[in-house]
Amino acid sequence: EVVLTQSPGTLSLSRGERVTLSCRASQSVSHSYISWYQQKPGQAPRPLIYAASRRATGIPDRFSGSGSGTDFTLTISSLEPEDSAFYYCQQYGTSLTWTFGQGTTVEIK
Amino acid sequence: QVQIVQSGAEVKKPGASVQVSCKVSGHTLSELSIHWVRRAAGRGLEWMGGFDPGNGETAYAREFQNRVTMTQDTSKDTASLEVRSLRSDDTAVYYCVAVGLQGDDWGQGTLVTVSS
């Protein structure tokens, strides 16, 4: 079973700053089957990135994903107030099994 | 895009069972892989299980293996999740997720509260 570890636990940054979130897998993730989700209070998670780097439909281009093997990154190039949320990475692999990281909280100062 | 409507909030006593359903539209259920994910207060997202219509396979997370059953009624385009032997730490919002060729769509979530 793949374990995903996200860091940091919480980030507090100012509007316009660059945000880098990390997701490390306990073993290599085949085909870079890593997704990123954003969740705001009272809302369902929203897909941001599929297959490590492919933006989901309607996602602003300030969101980007990168990485391969065991190390993956979500970058927000210029933080906006509406980006304040929880962020989760997810591994979906070639089997049915999913795994989520424990999440990172992004706050606006 | 798939539209998903989940059943309403539930309040259950410890030891009881609960069934949460989700009706999909925009695609037929047989074209979609349905997964269930929950989020309890103070915790992150937890994957509970998923179904692959291609081969009929169902997989459950180890921690839910003996307490959870996922079913589908393709004639009604409705999927269901049953959780048995409820405990207070099962209090959470339960999400139905439909995965298709274009990505995944999430239901609005169903709050299940377990309290004596």
pLDDT tens sequence across A16-25 = 999 999 999 9
Provide the pairing of β-strand A10-13 with A104-108.
parallel
Q: What Å distances lie between residue A105 and A21, A39, B63, B81, CA to CA?
A: 10, 10, 25, 29
pLDDT tens sequence across A11-62 = 999 999 999 999 999 999 988 899 999 999 999 999 999 999 999 999 999 9
* Average pLDDT across chain A, whole number: 95
| Residue B45 · residue B22 · CB < 8 Å | no
Give 3-state DSSP helix, strand, coil % of chain A, rounded to 5.
5, 50, 45
| CB–CB contacts below 8 A, A to B | 51
- A104: phi then psi, degrees, rounded to nearest 5: -130, 135
Q: Does the beta carbon of B86 lie under 8 angstroms from any beta carbon of chain A?
A: no
pLDDT tens sequence across B69-101 = 999 999 999 999 999 999 999 999 999 999 988
Tell me the average pLDDT across B4-31: 96
Q: Quick check: A90 pLDDT over 80?
A: yes
| Cβ <8 Å between B108 and A44 | yes
- pLDDT > 70 in chain B, percent: 100
CA distance B45 to chain A (A): 6
Q: Does the beta carbon of A72 lie under 8 angstroms from any beta carbon of chain B?
A: no
Cα Rg of chain A (Å, integer): 13
| Cβ <8 Å between A96 and B51 | yes
**pLDDT band per the 50, 70, 90 thresholds, residue A103:** very high
The pLDDT of residue A94: 65
Query: Which 8-state DSSP code applies to residue A2?
Result: -
